[in-house]
Structure 1
């Protein structure tokens, strides 16, 4: 008998995070509110970068790509989870599972690479300010974004196709609220140990290389800042980098836990919580981090509000952080 991948003709069953109790309904409402707030926050940030000419710089061009990823991440996972909760069922087709896994890997890897390239942008801005317009010209920014997409798509195509090639002839209950590769591999009735080892090595490579670039870039930034004589210049340099470092910590902290810590050291429930963190909470916090801690974005928002007749009580001074 041929080894048939029976998942091609059968749905998978996802484990819903929320039960019928009142506390779970409250948690669902909180998740829904965060989902809407995240989409709105990233949409506003994208709009401000688009309409304000002062934000037409390499840093904000890269930030706009980060906001696009932060819109995509929750859109791939949260609407399906909400629909399952409201309809009382948690099934997903084989094709739907494949699509969800593919897009999550594309967005996740592309965002990780982009965050590393954004650290290079801050390194050039602080260490080589006079050469910044040349080293970070528009063609270089396009190359950065294109590279992050290319690496992510190639990785997602390879890993999704291999993962779905395994036969799933036993249980189809995925112990996760969306189709994530580690949870899916546990259901295969074939020996996936060699592939899981290769997957771990690939995951470490994908995480370690960007983290190495980030550490190197900010090591050089810190060295340059400590040699600055002007306290104002030092504070400005710290301010331009602090938001990005915060976002890097949120993203890579969850990614390291999921893909570099062996599965024996964390339970499926912990995996669900961490996945909810990086697929919803982090994309919701990112626009707040960049808007509340960045004078350029705050001034752009005030300008837009003033244009529609809504002028806040406070009005920032005309100085910006570059």
Structure 2
């Protein structure tokens, strides 16, 4: 399952698909970065990395921050493709995807519906559960009192987090009922919808995925070993004490099973292009549980998709180019009429 169809370097490209040819076909590319979400800082780091990587591959790439410029300028300035390096709301929730659909500019990653579902952890878990996929028990809450009730039902430890944020922003691991009020308040600061989730003790792993439909495939599994088991925002992006093990050194057959599970989780949501699925493996039973999916994964120096790609023999610039090569629009991806509605006044 960890095979990957990326040609890393011009010498390995089939005839007619040299790096220069691919870059020319892509035309003028906007790397969307920054944005207005709580993950702006990480997005800027991701975007700058992607921008420099694409330029190194001969792509006519330019930075574009939707928090500072109107998206309509993309059309005016002649951009033909967008690499979405935005994270969180207004970036990977279907909002910018919908705008790009109206502008008729192909973009990387999942489409409008899959993006809007995947950022909503509760909706994602409902779909996974309906498809028979394992995910930890949860409650959706709207008050501190409801959070305490969830703790009584789910037990200790319990994870409290915003429903529609990423990068572990606003997340608390609750071990005592007295912590529920503060945990809810922190999560609610970022989203009116708050998720309480049963904690699964064991190995934390993540599985990057590339491609669409039947052509989608998983990259190598990465096992995450954070200080004191606390894989928070700081340990994700700004420290060097978290260990990322690839190969993950899981028991025989377990990695392939987890890759298949992540692939199905990706496909049932209708995702395309690329994503990353986070999984916990129960220490006692070795049963895997799906936590969430990220449809616009980080591309910083600490990020996991580039790490898995490197383990598969694919450089960071080649990975960026591969993701961009599959930029599309919803109707085009579905094999329908890709003609977009006119944005000109009647």
TM-score between the two structures when normalised by the length of structure 2? 0.27
Which has more radius of gyration?
Answer: 1
> More helix by proportion, 1 or 2?
1
| Greater RCO, CA 8 A, separation 6+ | 1
